A = this chain, B = another copy of it.
């Protein structure tokens, strides 16, 4: 199902396909006309995608078919061994992680995991973790430290689960602990915002030496809908909230919240996952190479300085 702003493009694409089919079956030469339409399509795409509103980008970030953490691992890594559980309370399918090889070297990976259909989404609680999911992430951080391997976190959550069960088991506590644990990693830590970066639930695995973000991902303190519900008292004002929150990749790069924007193909990663993942691979590879040169102490200090500098205020 196309997103709202994708509809004209999809319609034009299907018209072109129809004409091509007709030309092929009838033998009528329509190559000039088709070429013209293709140019028109290219223009329409670049106009649409060059001027995406923030709210449209949020929709791309949530688009079905957008690569999830497990897709990224499957495509960019080998030898993945999924590890489960927090050794304390439970296994949380909203967070996945384990060991894998990236470009031949062992890394520890973790990420929020959305479902690819409704059934899987229910099982994975729409990638909204409970405390045990974050404790699993912390266990994987321990492992990265233990074996001196880089830690890579993929962020893709609307937020930590806001429910009774999560509060009972210390959602706030575990998010704080996970932030602290990740800050203490003595190995290179990279966080990549894949799709949605919803608040503390995202930041819990976001304390990288470098924070990368896919071009159409969003990352902020609150979702546009919740923000609109509070400030405009109307969740339908989400588009306005998205604008106000400056939650897109270019915004965040300007604010220093992220370090690098990973380009997506026209229309977003869901329209061409392979291309998006190739860009992600390159960015990851370059980032890990850069961080690989730093000692554990330098990595700690680098991470401290990175987050220490964030915020804007006036000296009194």
Contact = CB atoms under 8 A, between A and B. Distances in A.
A89 B90 CA distance: 12
A169 B132 CA distance: 12
A313 interface: no
Interface residues of A, number: 10
How often does this chain occur in the complex, in copies? 2
Contacts of A131: 88
Nearest to A135: B88
Contacts of A87: 170, 173, 177
Interface in A61-98: 87-89
A191 to B, nearest CB: 24
Most buried by B among A88, A89, A131, A135: A88
A234 B173 CA distance: 48
Interface in A6-38: none
A26 to B, nearest CB: 69
A173 to B, nearest CB: 5
Contacts of A89: 88-89, 169-170
A126 to B, nearest CB: 24
Contacts of A174: 88
Given A88-B89, A88-B131, 7 more contacts: A87-B170, A87-B177, A88-B88, A88-B135, A88-B169, A88-B173, A88-B174
14 contacts: A87-B170, A87-B173, A87-B177, A88-B88, A88-B89, A88-B131, A88-B135, A88-B169, A88-B170, A88-B173, A88-B174, A89-B89, A89-B169, A89-B170
